[in-house]
Each structure stands twice: as C-alpha cells, then as structure tokens.
Amino acid sequence: MRKRGFKKFLKGVIISFTIALFIEGGLLIWGNISYVKASISMLSRPEVAVDSSKGPMEGEQTLATTDELEDPENTGSELSFDATTYPYRELLNEREQALYNQVYSNALDYNTEAFTLTETLTSDELIETMNCVYNDHPELFWLNTSYQYGYNSSNEIVKVQLSYGISKNNLDSAKTTYNNAIENIVSGASSYESEIEIELYVHDAICELATYNSNAELNQSAYSALVNGSTVCAGYARAFQNVCQELGLTCYYLTGTADGGDHAWNIISIDGNFYNVDLTWDDSISESYGSSVYTYFNLTDSEIGVDHTRSTLSANLPACTSTEMSYTNVYGATIEIDDIENQSGSQITDGNFTIQAPPEPIIDWHDGPSGNNPINSAPSNEPINNEMENNVPMNRNDMGNKGGH
C-alpha cells in the first residue's frame, strides 16, 4: 500500500511539474526577450574576427530580461527610397525593408529606446538589413555601427536599440559643421562641368582634408573624414559617397577585403559607366610619395581585383568594366599598381600637399569648345615632387600599416 501510495504521489508531482513547464514555456514565448550587443566591425582593423561575406558584424554579451512587447511606433512606413541612390535596400525582402525604414526613421529622430519591429526577423536578416542601412546612408553620421537587438525564445528578432556617437545636445551643432564641410567641397566642385572633373576635385578635396588613423574618433563615419580629418577606410568611402550624392553623382559604398583585411571603397557612375575608386589607398600612397597619386582612381573590377574583393552583399552592385574614364585615359600616367608592387622599402609616412584644380583632360569630353569652361584656365596638376626626391619607395605590405585596410 505504501508503494502504491508513493507511486501515486510521484505521478502527481510529475503531472504538476509538466503543467508548470507548459505554463512557463508559454511565458518564455510571449514574455521573455533576451538582448544581445552587436556591431558592424570596425573596418580596417584586421584583428577583429568577422564574417566579411555579407558586410562584417559581430555580437556578444547576452543580457536576459523580461519585457512586454508594445506596439511598433515610428515605423517609417511612409518613407520611400530611390533605388538608384539607395541600391542596398533593393536587395532586401519585404520584412527586411520594413526594418530598414524603422532604423532610418528612428535614427533621424535620435531614438535611444529599444523599438519593437513591425515583423520578426532572423539574425541573418537583421545583420543584412543593418549593413544595408549603413551602406546606403552616410548622412547618418551620428549613428554608431553598434546596436543591441532583442530576440524571443524562438530566436526571432523582435526589438532593436540603436546607439549614437554624438550626443543629442551636440547633434545640431555637429550637423551644421558637417553640412558646411560638404558644402565647401560641393561649391568648389560645382565650378567644373564634366563628371570626371567633378569626381577628381572631390577625390582630392577629401584626401587633403583627411589622413588615415585607425584610432580616430567616430572613424566609421563620414564626419571623421570631413570634420575631424582623421579616419579609416570607412570614413573616406562614406565621405566620398555623401559628397558625390550632394553633387548628383551616383556613388555607392562597397565593403569587402583588400590584401586580406576588411576594407571599404566606392564605385561611381561617370557618364553612364561604373568605376572603382579607393580614396584610402590613393591618399596613403600619395602621402608616402609626397605627391598626388591616382593609382586606385576609376578602375575596372578586373584591375582592382588584384588586391580588392567585394563582400557577398556588395557583389550585387553594378559591375565595373569600362576603362573610358580611367585616370590614365583622361589625364595621363600615374603610378600603376605594378609599379607599387615592384618597389621595396618603407612604411608610409604623413605628407602635406594641397588641393589643386583638375588638369585639362587629354581628350575633350565636352560636345564642343566652351568659352566659360573652367578647365581652360585651370592650373596644372603637376605632382609637387615629380622626382619623388627624399621619399623612399614602399611596398604593398607596408601600405597596410597606414591606410591599406
């Protein structure tokens, strides 16, 4: 009898425990959200372990909490984005595009609270979407590439919380300074007529303003290049993208690798054809040689593919196959990739050189002669030091120490 009574008691305990688990499971599904810190990796920092196949990202430090999901607010559903200017958004599915709009709208409003997604996403979809927002919108310079996201017990992403590199109190002042920096370049570039001349002016202006510094503040933003003058590849590329956008040029931000390290550069449309442009490496080589160099100005995919590889995400953007507007074809010889590879020598050092107006192209790209064509009276863009005296040639491995990645 005692055994039978004990078995009955044990059975009751098991049944009660099972019911408790079922109820608790319901709470886990509907009530508990775990939070994770995540970020787009600091491009140009090879020590960060990342997956560069989509546009690298890392996540760490889980934090569990209990939270009720409120209705989504500030969804950005009324926003529309031109596919030509913002190509990354077009790569997303409908649910990802909904988050894209939410992130953009909440960033504009400087929302520091976690917001509920209009639709749940997988972690891969979240990663892809966040990369697309950052890649399309350099003007959101105050938005950090780090953020937190919350997921439920089914591993569905249900919340996102953004973070910012500039305080809300300082944002208006920072926007004014940033917009003035862009306007200064736009004003100078606007005196030229052809797209290639405008592109060259912007390239030189940003290279003059910025220098490579892996420890620079806000170095993943265009602000670091245009205002602080100290940045990494992401800052160079986003600054070039934003200024070109303001000038009406189609310009995109690319991620990938260069000589094995994470890297960012641009592609730009000039007279209907796309070209690769890498301001980081051009500026680094120029500072090494002490004169303006255009080794990575308007290259084809094949040419830049010697040392640059697009990420899986950026590989969806237009191919670059034309050589018509390469620097060599338009302006003449510059230091070629092979010339750099065949040199042996030293680490890059800082150099000082000023912006000069673009030289007159070898070929007249205008329909006919123009009496007010700015290039007719433009000063020559001869290198400051043609003989490269007092400069030690460098090799490609050394370039990575300053700005190669």
Q: Which residues contact 373 (CB under 8 A, 6 or more apart)?
A: 193, 366
The Cα 282–Cα 79 span in angstroms is 37
Global pTM value: 0.75
Pairing relation of β-strands 115-121 and 273-277? unpaired
User: Which residues, in sequence order, are bridge partners of residue 258?
Assistant: 261, 308
Phi, psi (deg, nearest 5) at residue 196: -70, -35
Q: Which residues contact 184 (CB under 8 A, 6 or more apart)?
A: none
The Cα 18–Cα 108 span in angstroms is 48
Q: What is the pLDDT of residues 186-230, one digit of tens each?
A: 999 999 999 999 999 999 999 999 999 989 999 999 999 999 999
Q: What is the pLDDT of residues 340-366, one digit of tens each?
A: 754 433 333 333 344 555 566 554 443
Boundaries of every domain in the chain: 33-164, 173-402
| DSSP-derived secondary structure letter, 366 | S
Q: Identify the pLDDT of residue 4.
A: 54
Q: Annotate 45-100 with three-state secondary structure.
A: CCCCCCCCCCCCEEEEEEEEEECCCCCCCCCCCCCCCCCCCCCCHHHCCHHHHHHH
Q: Identify the pLDDT of residue 24.
A: 33
The CATH number corresponding to 173-402 among 1.20.950, 1.20.120, 3.20.20, 3.10.620 equals: 3.10.620
User: Which residues, in sequence order, are bridge partners of residue 251?
Assistant: 268
Q: What is the pLDDT of residues 217-226, one digit of tens each?
A: 999 999 999 9
Q: How far is CA 120 from CA 265, 330, 342, in A?
A: 32, 50, 52
- The average pLDDT across 234-245 equals 98
Q: How far is CA 310 from CA 235, 247, 255, 267, in A?
A: 18, 25, 6, 11
Q: What is the pLDDT of residues 297-328, one digit of tens each?
A: 999 999 999 999 999 999 999 999 999 999 99
Q: Identify the pLDDT of residue 5.
A: 54
What SS3 class is residue 276?
strand
Pairing relation of β-strands 211-212 and 230-231? parallel
> Encoding tokens for residue 380?
């020559």
Q: What percent of the chain has pLDDT over 70?
A: 67
Asked if 265 contacts 280 with a C-beta cutoff of 8 angstroms, the reply is yes
User: Which residues, in sequence order, are bridge partners of residue 157?
Assistant: 121, 151
> Encoding tokens for residue 133?
């927002």
Q: Identify the pLDDT of residue 69.
A: 75
The Cα 39–Cα 34 span in angstroms is 17
- The average pLDDT across 333-344 equals 66
What SS3 class is residue 164?
strand
